[in-house]
Chains A and B, each alone.
Chain A
C-alpha cells in the first residue's frame, strides 16, 4: 500500500484500519464464494444449509439449527465461527443450567477485597447454545435479553456484549424426551431456523471413507476481519428492493393473517426478517437487488418457526404452511 501522507516514525497504522480492509464489490463476492467453498469442505453435501446460515449471519440475525443428534449441527456452528474470524463460546444446555451459568456471576475477590464480575460464556462474538431446548425456561430466557438487546443485566448493572454478537442455537426436535419447547416469543427472535437433514448417499460415502471431518475444522482459517464482516453486513442493508417486490412480501404476510389455516399471522418482525434474509440471499447470489426467487429461497427458513397451524396449535405444522404460502400467493399482482 502506498500513501502520500507520511506516517510518523514508530506509529504503525492500526491493523484493522478501514482503508486497509475495504473491499470492492468483486472482492466481497470472491470472499463469500471462498467462505462457502471452505465450509462445503467441512460439511459435506450441505451447500444450501451453509448458504442459508451465512445469509442469516450476514443479515445480523440469530440462527436456530434443529435436527436430530449427530447430524453436524455443532460442527456447522463451530465452522462458521472459525471462518468468520469470530471469538467463539459454547454453552451446553442441560436441565440444570442456571442463568448465571450463561451470563456470569459476581464473586468476592479476597485479594482486592472487592466484588468482581466473572463473564459467563455468553461474552463471545458467536455463542453456540447447544441443545437449547434441554434447558429450563428460566435459563432459556437468560438468552432473551442478550439476543434482542445485545446486552445482559446482572446485579442491576447492564453490560454490553461484544460486537458483533450472534447466537447459533441448536435444538433437538421437541418431540424427543427431556425437552422444553421454546415459546413463540423466543422463536421469533431467531431470524432463521434451518434443518440439516440426512446427508446425500455420495456425501455420506465420502464421510465414511475419509473419516471425521473435524480435523478440517482445525485447518480452517479466519477469512474475514471484523471491519470486513461489518462491510458485508452493510452491503446487505444496501441491497435494493422495488415496489413490486415489497408488494409480494406484503401479499405473503397478508395471506398468513387472513388464511383460516394459520393460527396467527406473521408479525411485522417476521416480515422484516423475511425481507432481510432475502437481501442477504441476493448478496450471496451476487445481485444488487432482491428478486422474488430470493424471497422464496429464504421463506421456509424465515417463517416456518413463526407459524402455527390453527388446527394444531402447538404442533410443528410450519413447514407445510410455508409450502402452502409459497404455492398460493401469486408472485405478480
Chain B
C-alpha cells in the first residue's frame, strides 16, 4: 500500500515544473493569438485557471463526461467560428484548443511530456504564419522555457529551482546551436509531402479585384511589401513602377485579371531592345502574399529559372508565396511589349460590359473624334482634363454606386485615388476600341541608407494604365500623375493632404520620415530584418543548391550525406570540447607535474609510490631502497612544492627536471638492495 502511494507521488508533476509548464503553454500560445479566434484564448485562460484551482485543491479534475462535452463543444465552436474550409487558421485553432484542454487532464508525468512535445510543435507552427527575426528570437526564448519545464520535471522534488532549470535549459539550447546551423546549411529542403492549408489572404496589400465603388482601404498600411536590392544603378523615383497585377476584365463595376494568359519566353529579347535602353539588375525579397504574383519593373527579360513570365509580361511564382520569396530579375526599359496583337488579345483588352456608364461612353466617343482617332493624344487629353478640372486626390473618396461608378466619379464626385483615375481612362479607351488595361503594383520605394536596399511598403500600392500603341507596344501612362504629380515624383507623403495624413497611424508617419529618432530606429530594425531575410529566410532550396555547388563542385546524395555526418560530428565535438574545457582540471603546479611524471615512470612494483606517500616520504623510502643519495632533490622538491616563498622559476624547474632525469637513468641500472 505504502509503495503504491510512493509510486503515485513519483509519477506526479513536481511543483516548479507545473508552474513552468503553465508558463510555457502561455508563452507558446501568444504568437498564435492573432491568428485564432478570441474565444479560444478565453478557453485557454479558463483552463489555466481550472488547473491552478486543481493544484490548490479547490476544484477537482473534470469527470469523463465533462471532458467529452468540452471536446464536442470545442469542435462545435470551431465549426461555428466561420473559418473558410480547413484553413491553416482553423487547423491552428483546433490544435490550440486541444492543447488548452490537455491542461485539464495533466495529472502524471506522461501527460506533462505530451504537453511539452505539443509545445515544441506549437512553436514550429507559428513559423507557418511568419518568419521574422523578432518571432524567431521570441520562439527561441519560448523553446528555453519549454525545455526548462522538462528539466524541472526531472529535478528532485526537494530541490525546487525554477531559475536554475531555466539556466540549464538555456545551456542546452545553446549547445544545440552548432548542430542546428549544420542542418540548416546542409539538410536538403524537401518540398512538403502533403499540402499545407494556406493562411487566408491578408487584409492589407494588393487584391486581384478592384471595385472603384467600394470604400478604399488601400494606401494606409505601413506593412512591408518587399525589399529590392539593386545591383548597380537605381532607377529614378518616377520610373519605379513595380508591376504585379494586370486587370484586363471589367464586369459589374469590378476590375479583375480575367483568364490567365499562357507562359511566354523571351528567347529573342535582345533583338527587340532599343539601343539606348537602360537595364537594371535587382533581387527581390517578397513578403508572403498568399498569392502567386511577383513584382518586377518593366520589362523583365532575365529572371530566376523557377519563376515564370506570363503573356502580359508579369512574373508569377509556381506556388503561392507563403514565406519570403527571393528572386533575381533583369529589366530592360527599352523592351517593346507586343509589337503585334492577336485578334483574341485585342478582343480581351477592349472588352466592356453592355449598357453601363453611358455618359463616359458618350464622352469617350466625342473626345476620340476630337483628337482625330489618336490613342496617345486621347490619353493626353484626358490627363489634361484631370489637371484642369477640380479633381482631387484623396485616400477617402466617397462611396460610389456599383454599376455607374465611373460616370459618377468622372462627372460628379471627382474625388478618388489611383485606381479611380486609371479605371476611368481605361474605360474610356476601351469604349472607343483602343486596347488598354489597368496595372496594379507598387510605385516608388525608399532606400534604407544603412544597407542600401530599397523598401517598398503597402502604402506604396498604386494602379496605372497601359495602352497598346501599335508598334510602340504597350505603353505606360499614369493618370494619377495628372492630379497628384508629387505622388509619383516623391512618394505618398508628398501627395496626401492634411486630412489623410491625420488618419495615418503613428508608425506610418514615422516610416514616412516624420519622427527623427524613431525613423532612425525603424530603419535600423528594417536593415536587420533585411539581413535576416538575406541570410536565413532567403536561404531556400535554390540558394542552398547554389551554395552547395560552390562548396562541393557537383552535388550528389553521398556527398551531402557525408557533409552532414562530418558537420554534425564536428558540431557535437565542438560541444563536447566546450564542456570538457569548462571542467578541465585546475592548472597544476609545475613541480607537482614533474614529480607525478617521474612517479609514473617507475615500473618496479616495490619502488612505486603509494597514493598516500607524500613526496618527501616517498623519496626517503626510495633512498633507502636504492641507496642513491637524494638529499638535494628531496630538499629542492619539498621546498618548491610546499614553501610558497621558495622561488619556482625556469632555472629551478630545469634543475628539478634534470635531477629526475638523472635519477631515472640511475634507477634503470639498479635494483632495490634491501633483501626481502
Interface residues of A (CB under 8 A from B): 240-245, 247, 288-293, 296, 326-333
Residue of B nearest to A291 (CB): B642
Which A residues are in CB contact (< 8 Å) with B644? 240-243, 289
Q: When A242-B643, A326-B612 are in contact, do A332 and B617 touch as well, CB less than 8 Å?
A: no
Contact code string B205-244 (vs A, CB < 8 Å = 1, else 0): 0000000000000000000000000000000000000000
Q: When A296-B614, A328-B611, A330-B611 are in contact, do A289 and B596 touch as well, CB less than 8 Å?
A: no
Contact A244 B611, beta carbon cutoff 8 Å: no
Contact A296 B642, beta carbon cutoff 8 Å: no
Contact code string B600-612 (vs A, CB < 8 Å = 1, else 0): 0000000000111
Assembly CA distance A244 to B589 (angstroms): 7
Q: When A240-B644, A242-B642, A244-B641 are in contact, do A292 and B614 touch as well, CB less than 8 Å?
A: yes
Smallest beta-carbon distance A252→chain B, Å: 11
Residue of B nearest to A250 (CB): B586
Assembly CA distance A330 to B591 (angstroms): 15
Contact A288 B592, beta carbon cutoff 8 Å: no
Smallest beta-carbon distance B633→chain A, Å: 15
Assembly CA distance A235 to B611 (angstroms): 31
Beta-carbon contacts under 8 Å, B613-634 to A:
613-617
Residue of B nearest to A328 (CB): B611
Contact A243 B589, beta carbon cutoff 8 Å: yes
Which B residues are in CB contact (< 8 Å) with A329? 611-612
Q: When A332-B595, A333-B592 are in contact, do A245 and B612 touch as well, CB less than 8 Å?
A: no
| In-complex Cβ contact of B588 among A290, A331, A333 (8 A) | A333
Assembly CA distance A296 to B586 (angstroms): 23
| In-complex Cβ contact of A291 among B588, B595, B596, B616 (8 A) | B616
Contact A333 B585, beta carbon cutoff 8 Å: yes
Contact B642 A245, beta carbon cutoff 8 Å: yes
Assembly CA distance A330 to B615 (angstroms): 11
Contact B615 A288, beta carbon cutoff 8 Å: no
Residue of A nearest to B599 (CB): A332
14 new A-B contacts, CB < 8 A, other than A242-B641, A293-B616, are: A242-B643, A244-B641, A289-B643, A291-B616, A291-B641, A291-B642, A292-B615, A292-B642, A326-B612, A327-B611, A327-B612, A328-B611, A330-B612, A333-B588
Q: Does B4 contact A (CB under 8 A)?
A: no
Q: Does B638 contact A (CB under 8 A)?
A: yes
Contact code string B159-180 (vs A, CB < 8 Å = 1, else 0): 0000000000000000000000
Contact B642 A244, beta carbon cutoff 8 Å: yes
Q: When A240-B643, A245-B642, A290-B642 are in contact, do A296 and B612 touch as well, CB less than 8 Å?
A: yes
Give 5 pairs: A residue, B residue, CB < 8 Å, sorted on A: A244-B591, A296-B614, A326-B612, A331-B611, A333-B585
**In the complex, which of the residues B586, B599, B612, B645 has the most CB atoms of chain A within 10 Å of its own CB atom?**
B612
Which A residues are in CB contact (< 8 Å) with B588? 333
Contact B642 A331, beta carbon cutoff 8 Å: no
Q: When A243-B589, A333-B592 are in contact, do A291 and B638 touch as well, CB less than 8 Å?
A: yes
| In-complex Cβ contact of B596 among A240, A242, A293, A332 (8 A) | A332
Which B residues are in CB contact (< 8 Å) with A242? 589, 641-644
Contact A289 B614, beta carbon cutoff 8 Å: no
**In the complex, which of the residues B585, B588, B592, B610 has the most CB atoms of chain A within 10 Å of its own CB atom?**
B592
Which B residues are in CB contact (< 8 Å) with A288? 643, 645
Contact B643 A293, beta carbon cutoff 8 Å: no
Assembly CA distance A34 to B98 (angstroms): 87
Which A residues are in CB contact (< 8 Å) with B642? 241-242, 244-245, 289-292
> How many residues on the B side are at the interface (Cβ–Cβ under 8 A)?
23
| In-complex Cβ contact of B592 among A241, A289, A332 (8 A) | A332
Contact A244 B643, beta carbon cutoff 8 Å: no
| In-complex Cβ contact of A333 among B596, B638, B643, B645 (8 A) | B596
Assembly CA distance A327 to B612 (angstroms): 5
Which B residues are in CB contact (< 8 Å) with A292? 614-616, 642
**In the complex, which of the residues B585, B642, B644, B645 has the most CB atoms of chain A within 10 Å of its own CB atom?**
B642
Assembly CA distance A292 to B599 (angstroms): 17
Assembly CA distance A261 to B595 (angstroms): 31
Smallest beta-carbon distance A329→chain B, Å: 7
Assembly CA distance A296 to B612 (angstroms): 9
Smallest beta-carbon distance A293→chain B, Å: 5
Smallest beta-carbon distance B637→chain A, Å: 10
Which A residues are in CB contact (< 8 Å) with B610? 327
| In-complex Cβ contact of A331 among B589, B613, B643 (8 A) | B613
Which A residues are in CB contact (< 8 Å) with B614? 291-293, 296, 331
Residue of A nearest to B610 (CB): A327
**Nearest 10 pairs of A and B residues by beta carbon:** A292-B614, A330-B611, A289-B643, A242-B644, A331-B614, A244-B589, A291-B642, A242-B642, A326-B612, A240-B644
Assembly CA distance A240 to B645 (angstroms): 8
Assembly CA distance A129 to B208 (angstroms): 101
Residue of A nearest to B613 (CB): A331
Assembly CA distance A244 to B588 (angstroms): 8
Which A residues are in CB contact (< 8 Å) with B589? 242-244
Smallest beta-carbon distance B657→chain A, Å: 16
Which B residues are in CB contact (< 8 Å) with A332? 592, 595-596, 599, 615, 641
Residue of A nearest to B614 (CB): A292
Assembly CA distance A328 to B596 (angstroms): 16
Which A residues are in CB contact (< 8 Å) with B617? 293
Residue of B nearest to A247 (CB): B586
Which A residues are in CB contact (< 8 Å) with B638? 291
Residue of B nearest to A289 (CB): B643
Which A residues are in CB contact (< 8 Å) with B599? 332
Assembly CA distance A291 to B641 (angstroms): 9
Assembly CA distance A331 to B609 (angstroms): 10
Assembly CA distance A241 to B613 (angstroms): 19
Which A residues are in CB contact (< 8 Å) with B643? 240, 242, 288-289
**In the complex, which of the residues A241, A288, A289, A328 has the most CB atoms of chain B within 10 Å of its own CB atom?**
A289
Residue of A nearest to B638 (CB): A291
Which B residues are in CB contact (< 8 Å) with A328? 611-612
Contact code string B536-549 (vs A, CB < 8 Å = 1, else 0): 00000000000000
Assembly CA distance A241 to B586 (angstroms): 18
Assembly CA distance A292 to B614 (angstroms): 6
Smallest beta-carbon distance B330→chain A, Å: 69
Smallest beta-carbon distance B632→chain A, Å: 17
Which B residues are in CB contact (< 8 Å) with A245? 641-642
Assembly CA distance A326 to B613 (angstroms): 9
Contact code string B62-89 (vs A, CB < 8 Å = 1, else 0): 0000000000000000000000000000
Assembly CA distance A5 to B631 (angstroms): 49
Smallest beta-carbon distance B102→chain A, Å: 42
Which B residues are in CB contact (< 8 Å) with A327? 610-612
**In the complex, which of the residues A292, A296, A326 has the most CB atoms of chain B within 10 Å of its own CB atom?**
A292
Residue of B nearest to A243 (CB): B589
Which B residues are in CB contact (< 8 Å) with A247? 586
Residue of A nearest to B587 (CB): A243
Which B residues are in CB contact (< 8 Å) with A241? 642, 644
Smallest beta-carbon distance B596→chain A, Å: 5
Which A residues are in CB contact (< 8 Å) with B586? 247, 333
Contact B615 A331, beta carbon cutoff 8 Å: yes
Which A residues are in CB contact (< 8 Å) with B592? 244, 332-333
